[in-house]
Amino acid sequence: MGVVLPQDVIDMWRALIISLLCSSALQALVAQPCVVIGVVRDANSPLPGVNVALIGSMNGSSTDAQGRFKLAIAQTGPQVIRFSFLGYGTVERTFMSEPGQTFDLGTITLTRNATELGEVVVSGTLSAVSRDASPIPVEVITPMLFRRNPEPSLIGSIGMVNGVRPQINCSVCNTGDIHINGMEGPYTMVLIDGMPIVSSLGTVYGLSGIPTSLIERVEVVKGPGSALYGSEAMGGIINVITKDPVLAPRLALDLSGTTWSEYNADLGIKLGNDRFSDLIGVNVFSYGDPRDDNGDGFTDLTLQQRVSVFNKLALRRPGRKPASLATRYLTEDRWGGQMNWTPEFAGGDSIYGESISTHRWEAIGQYQLNVPGTAMVQFSAIGHHQRSFYGLTPYNADQAVYFGQIYWNRKLGPRSNFLAGLAYRYSIYDDNTPATEVRNGPEATTNAPEIRPLPGLFLQEDWMLTEAHELLMGYRLDHDQDHGLVHSPRLAYKWAPSGRWTLRVSFGSGFRVVNLFTEEHAALTGSRIVVVAEDLLPERSWNGTLNLVRKWSNEKRFIGLDASLFHTWFSNRIIPDYATDPDLIIYTNLSGYGVAQGAALQLETRWGKGFKALAGVTWMNVYTVELGVQQEQLFAPQWQGTFTLSQELPHRFTVDLTGQWYGPMLLPVVPNDPRPEYSPWYALVNVQARHRFSDRFEVYGGVRNLLDFVPQDPLLRPFDPFDRTVNDPVGNPYGHSFDASYMYAPLQGVRGFMGIRVTLE
């Protein structure tokens, strides 16, 4: 028999249930975030990759390929969103955030206020300023420029900067470095997020292992930068800025291949919650199809199997104070040599090959302290492990570099910005060569790894004299265990009477402590014997640069001119002598002086709807004077230039034409060498077509080295790599030996490429 409840009890329970349901619904509604959407564009087209940040929090996003964004906001009440993008002015929008609501901001239009090469830079002064405001000239490569000439690694893309040239130093193992204004690779300092990660052994093989998919932008400073960065920053600085996990897409995939059977895969995944954002990147590159198109019996391109795993963690802190930790592991196996070489021939004398196995780890971190001004603690560490054979010669090396610095930046007045810092670098290097041996007697030796601490301090004052005049003064003091105190001052002046004119004048010094066995690849190979004729002193230089920028712009067109004059004077240089003896590389201090001078001009324009062009030319005169005799620098063309042409077409198509061209350069010939002493004029031209099927999917393809240029006879006596018949007076009357240093351009001819990109925001 059922129980009948009184009506008032039923009404009470009914009211309670309705109240609980309403409360639950209200809580669910309150828990739902506000969603803000919109589109960001400029005067001509949507802008992908725009930073979308909620002011007062670490919440942020970025626009997709069609310029659209979506941002979930938990806070309620009035909110401000800031839109910023390289090369454009910053825009802010205010709205009222309500739980569970979707707020459409409509179209946000950004106005270009700088050249396409970038707006915010840090490499010139260690402070984040607009490129126009920087007293030091800085050039920037953005992801938009990378996509116009897609390359699997940094060393292939950096040549898009006027005056910068990737150099292949060996036609067998394809080692490379980066030359700035004609200066050799050891004079270029490569940084990752401002830290000296790629140095010494890393300059030999590490550059090819930096995938462009992880790069937010690359900043290039030409001329000495030792006042801020210390040793090695003599010729210039290349600072690779990796992506911010907060602004990275949830998923980014880029797959590409070429008709040479080169395959590259880049995968980026973002994870995180309210406290942190984590960016995981994986790069895989594979080339396993030996080719010998020039018929010399040797591989035209080294076979490579490379895997790089990257992880960057960013903590969300009040006031958007930076706190991040990035790690990377790289493993690579490569070989080049005679076409029938296999790994079992490594170190043998029957078939010639050069094989290199590399394992490398890196760590980079930064943390902003909670003190007045901007106080940053930064650190980095690397471990490099290499096992290799160059013909018969084994080269086994291990290196560790630990670096830490703390700097404090604060305004001391309305027109004064002061910077002070302490830095400490500790490097350990060991190999199986005489470079790390100590003789205990006529025949007895012991291993003695090189340990080099390098403490330093730096000061900088950036003073706005007036609204148009700015003066920057800097000084650095380092202490080297062999050479004592090393001073590096610098001075820069900027005059900007309007937004259309900017004049910069800068003077600075640079120094470098030479380590031949880690910075000169030719010293690592077994093809020549290294002779150090005397105690090598530090290299020193003084540089002066004059830079003028002029802009003309309106809603439909933009024209920008950037002109520079530069002169660098070396009081000492260590230059390898290849010519005296074909079997030796002789190193001595310079008994005289060196000069690297020239002029550069760059034009950027946007005309009409979707047409963009960027072209530059550099004239250089690089030489040394020793005992009254002037000697031209090897691998330094007097003329070189770059160009990029891009046109947007209907139906989401884009066509890009890019290239670099070079004038004749002096090459390392030996006496009675049958090969030309100078390279010919040549150009490396690429064409590409892109098509966006949707906001998430894009395909691209094209042709590299469209003119099919390759160097002639890069190897001397390739038929006798072990020099078995070098003393044959009939077949080899001049006593030439096998040599692979005559190399100035890639040996890959014309080839096609194709790829796809998938992006999920």
Q: With respect to residue 464, please indicate whether it lies within any of the assigned structural domains.
A: yes
Claim to verify: residue 463 and residue 362 sit in the same structural domain = yes
Contacts of 726 (CB under 8 A, 6+ apart): 717, 720, 732, 735, 736, 737
Q: How many whole angstroms separate alpha carbon 253 and alpha carbon 270?
A: 12
Claim to verify: residue 79 and residue 188 sit in the same structural domain = no
Contacts of 593 (CB under 8 A, 6+ apart): 569, 570, 571, 624, 625
CATH number, domain of 86, equals 2.60.40.10
Contacts of 93 (CB under 8 A, 6+ apart): 80, 81, 83, 105, 108
Claim to verify: residue 151 and residue 77 sit in the same structural domain = no
Q: Which amino acid is at 307?
A: V
CATH number, domain of 528, equals 2.40.170.20
pTM of the predicted protein model: 0.80
Q: With respect to residue 114, please indicate whether it lies within any of the assigned structural domains.
A: no
- List Cα–Cα distances, 549 to 138, 440, 494, 635, 641, in angstroms: 12, 60, 11, 29, 18
Contacts of 444 (CB under 8 A, 6+ apart): none
Q: Yes or no: say if 436 and 450 are a contact pair by the CB < 8 Å rule.
A: yes
Q: With respect to residue 55, please indicate whether it lies within any of the assigned structural domains.
A: yes
Q: Which of 222, 238, 254 is the last residue of a domain?
A: 238
- Which of 392, 398, 387, 399 shows the shortest CA–CA distance to 356? 387
Q: Which of 223, 238, 253 is the last residue of a domain?
A: 238
Q: Show the CA angle centred on residue 696, arms to residues 694 and 701, nearest 5°.
A: 75
The number of distinct structural domains making up the chain is: 3
**Domain of 37, in residue numbers:** 32-109
CB atoms within 10 A of CB 705: 18
Q: With respect to residue 195, please indicate whether it lies within any of the assigned structural domains.
A: yes
- Which of 635, 504, 630, 639 shows the shortest CA–CA distance to 565? 504
Task: Count Cα neighbours of 447 within 13 Å in the Cβ-side half-sphere.
Answer: 7
Burial of 500-520, coded b for 16+ CB within 10 Å and e otherwise, reads eebebbbebbbbbbbbbbbbb
- Which of 437, 434, 433 shows the shortest CA–CA distance to 448? 437
Q: Which of 64, 81, 109 is the last residue of a domain?
A: 109
Q: Which amino acid is at 606?
A: R
Q: Yes or no: say if 205 and 356 are a contact pair by the CB < 8 Å rule.
A: yes
Q: With respect to residue 126, please indicate whether it lies within any of the assigned structural domains.
A: yes
Claim to verify: residue 232 and residue 247 sit in the same structural domain = no
At 708 the pLDDT is 96
At 235 the pLDDT is 76
At 701 the pLDDT is 96
Q: With respect to residue 631, please indicate whether it lies within any of the assigned structural domains.
A: yes
Q: With respect to residue 731, please indicate whether it lies within any of the assigned structural domains.
A: no
CATH number, domain of 148, equals 2.170.130.10
- Which of 88, 142, 116, 110 shows the shortest CA–CA distance to 42? 110
Write out the two tokens for 672: 């009675």
Claim to verify: residue 136 and residue 85 sit in the same structural domain = no
Q: Yes or no: say if 659 and 643 are a contact pair by the CB < 8 Å rule.
A: yes
Claim to verify: residue 217 and residue 355 sit in the same structural domain = no
Claim to verify: residue 658 and residue 611 sit in the same structural domain = yes
Claim to verify: residue 659 and residue 697 sit in the same structural domain = yes
The single residue listed with the structure tokens 């980095």 is: 380
Query: pLDDT tens digits, residue range 69-123?
Result: 888 887 888 888 888 876 677 888 888 888 888 888 889 988 765 444 445 566 6
At 10 the pLDDT is 54
Claim to verify: residue 133 and residue 222 sit in the same structural domain = yes
Q: With respect to residue 574, please indicate whether it lies within any of the assigned structural domains.
A: yes
At 555 the pLDDT is 66
At 564 the pLDDT is 94
Query: pLDDT tens digits, residue range 663-705?
Result: 999 998 988 999 999 999 999 999 999 999 987 899 999 999 9
Claim to verify: residue 471 and residue 610 sit in the same structural domain = yes
At 13 the pLDDT is 55
Please identify every stretch of the chain with a pLDDT value under 70, giving residue numbers as ranges.
1-31, 43-44, 57-58, 65, 86-87, 112-131, 198-209, 211, 226, 231-232, 435, 439, 441-444, 513-530, 533, 555, 575-576, 578-579, 582-583
Q: Which amino acid is at 45?
A: S
Claim to verify: residue 572 and residue 613 sit in the same structural domain = yes
At 423 the pLDDT is 94
Claim to verify: residue 217 and residue 244 sit in the same structural domain = no
